Chain A
């Protein structure tokens, strides 16, 4: 690989023709040598590129094109920004964004913090850590639909487990999924329970990489539990935390499965209509793939904004 490095750098400086290579023959033979030497790597790459191209990039290109098209009577026409305008003026456009942001915020408060503290707790345990790790991870192994059905039963206002517990404790019961006030938080609780195992294990791995000397030094300085978490644990796991934060924002803003299965999508008085559920409705209920693609484009732009922000923040912090 070292032999190829010099001409590459030269080629950058001299706009395409490497120093010492006055004609294309030598250049081509250099290239061919390079291809030959990397042939195995290219071979391994082909499968991934074909898969990504066919299942990710092509649909993305297609989605972008479709967001400017409309099909009526089998005839597809270019409609400029009409689809974008239509979804923007949809009566539920802002409702869906508000709900999506609400889900994301709740999911961050509950789904981001809880697994982190569970990981800290597991890390501090000296006994039965392996068993508890399995227990925490078990819900992830449960098929999502089975988990959702379980929570549907737990949340039933008449015979569900949660209201039964509340009644036993002489506390007021809740309508859970059947009230616009509690539907979204109920979905977040179920979603967090089903997915927190993976996040917990990732945090746990990061925690176990923190050198014990740092805590000892903190002890000598007289730091308490929260002081140690704030000044040692969080800074030492900052990279993992920020990566998980971004992944969680991207994942939660695409929430569909849990709201679709738990509340039927819209929920009481549209309290759980998310942007992705609205995309689904446009495509598969209204047969309007142009507007579905346009709404998807809005979401893509927002998520790209978050990713850009993350990239900028992580560069600055480096």
Chain B
């Protein structure tokens, strides 16, 4: 091409570049104007959705086709919901898992999430930072959500920011110790007496290793990567009564005797007793797989792991049990919820609330239709969700007991032991990344210097917290 042509091409490219940049800036300008599409100021926000209202919403987390029973239940529930609200169109979006954090982040950036979208309870700040959550405080009351008064206020508080409510819960859990009762029995341990302290965990893990190690079975497994290591460290430290950050959220507080005791125990289990596998969990799903395939006796986890290890790895419910978090001082809690896309119309928000109320917050209906779950071969009797209190809790327990399909006694100590719950620390994911290093140091390095690992992590977390202010 001629030189003059090059210059023209460069000029065109430059103009196009400036144009694109302007477009980029202008898209930001739109984003910079929060609340222009907000509809939360509607004067009739507090009234339930008029059954005659014609509105269409997208809702995600429909079970995938591979989960036939759950999928059919969802379809049936939409049909049932449409008997009351015939003009509401629910466009369901299936996904498994319901939230992939990386994809979810991208969706928030592109504002392409569903109108009523599934989140983890710890996602609130991320969604708010992306400017993608609608304030639903004015829409939620005892008329729109009749069982609102019976929902644990601690759970609702996790979904609030600055006194405003941004989501409704669909499930919650607290961390505990998941164990294989058959492995316990095979190793000569009493499956009805799971360990309650870290000393007992170490002791039982060693017994399992000594008795069943030759069959490739390990006593205990722990995570060390994918932020799962940090998450588990936090859960285990909470169990011992420790804390991660101070009340201001600006200073790390985890470098204490509890943490040193915990890490020393884990280190000794890995390197002295050899009661842990040489490869720790590196991402979500690794420890669940080890439990589901009968390769480990115990790990720290949440009760929603149990259906996963049964359905995906063909474990048997009767062989699985759950105990409170070792130490039992406090337990990390979390869960799932639905939020509402910024810019949704009042009717879309009302329709979303009506659907969540029907599907997830009414004993005897939707996810709490235990009779149907039993008929469909789904587990009934798991210790979650447990966000109901008062009359709703009593009714839920009664319905659950009447249709239980799994041995509820396997979870009795977990349910009966009232461990006070504690939410995840602020900036949890950043803290977990740093603590992954501590866990991987202990679990992959025989000569790990625990004091140094903790003090380095402490200063790194303090730097991250300072930068986040």
B105 x A73 contact (CB < 8 A)? no
Q: Given A8-B4, A65-B24 in contact, is the A268-B279 Cβ separation under 8 Å?
A: no
What is the size, in residues, of chain B's interface with A at 8 Å between Cβ atoms?
A: 55
What class of interface size applies to chain A in its complex with B? 35 or more
Within B383-418, the residues touching A (CB, 8 Å) are: none
Asked whether B108 lies within 8 Å of A287 as measured between CB atoms, the reply is: yes
Q: Contact at A178–B3, with CB atoms within 8 Å?
A: no
Given A75-B32, A75-B34, A287-B130, decide whether A269 and B102 contact each other with a Cβ distance below 8 A: no
Which candidate, B70-78, B147-155, B222-230, B317-325, is the interface stretch facing chain A?
B222-230
Contact A73 B128 (CB under 8 A): yes
- Judging by beta carbons under 8 Å apart, are B282 and A86 in contact? no
- Residues A157 and B225 in contact in the complex (CB < 8 Å), given A285-B433, A287-B105: no
Q: In the complex, are the beta carbons of B2 and A65 less than 8 A apart? A: no
* B31 contacts the other chain (CB 8 A): yes
Which residues between 103 and 132 of chain B lie within 8 Å of chain A, taking CB atoms? Answer: 105-106, 108-109, 126, 128-132
A192–B459 CA distance with the chains assembled, in angstroms: 37
Which A residues are CB-close (under 8 A) to B336?
none
Q: What is the bound-complex CA distance between A91 and B436, given in angstroms?
A: 14
Query: B444 contacts A269, CB within 8 Å?
Result: yes
Contacts of B128 in A (CB 8 A): 73-74
Q: How far is the CB of A288 from chain B (nearest CB, A)?
A: 9
Knowing A34-B5, A74-B31, A286-B429 are in contact, say whether A178-B280 is a contact too (CB < 8 A). yes
Contact between chains at A61 and B444 (CB < 8 Å): no
Stretch at the interface among B255-263, B356-364, B460-468: B460-468
22 contacts between A and B (CB under 8 A): A53-B16, A62-B24, A65-B21, A71-B130, A71-B131, A74-B32, A74-B342, A75-B32, A75-B34, A90-B464, A91-B464, A158-B216, A175-B444, A178-B444, A179-B444, A180-B441, A264-B283, A267-B225, A268-B444, A281-B433, A284-B102, A285-B101
Contacts of A75 in B (CB 8 A): 31-32, 34, 131
Give the residues in chain B near A298, CB-CB below 8 Å. none
CB nearest neighbor in B for A272: B225
The residues of A that contact B5 with a CB separation of less than 8 Å are 34, 38
B84 within 8 A of A: no
Residues in A whose Cβ lies below 8 Å from that of B31: 71, 74-76
Measured CA separation A179–B434 after assembly (Å): 17
| Alpha-carbon gap, A61 to B17, bound state (A) | 8
Chain A residues with Cβ below 8 Å from B2 are: 4-5, 8, 34
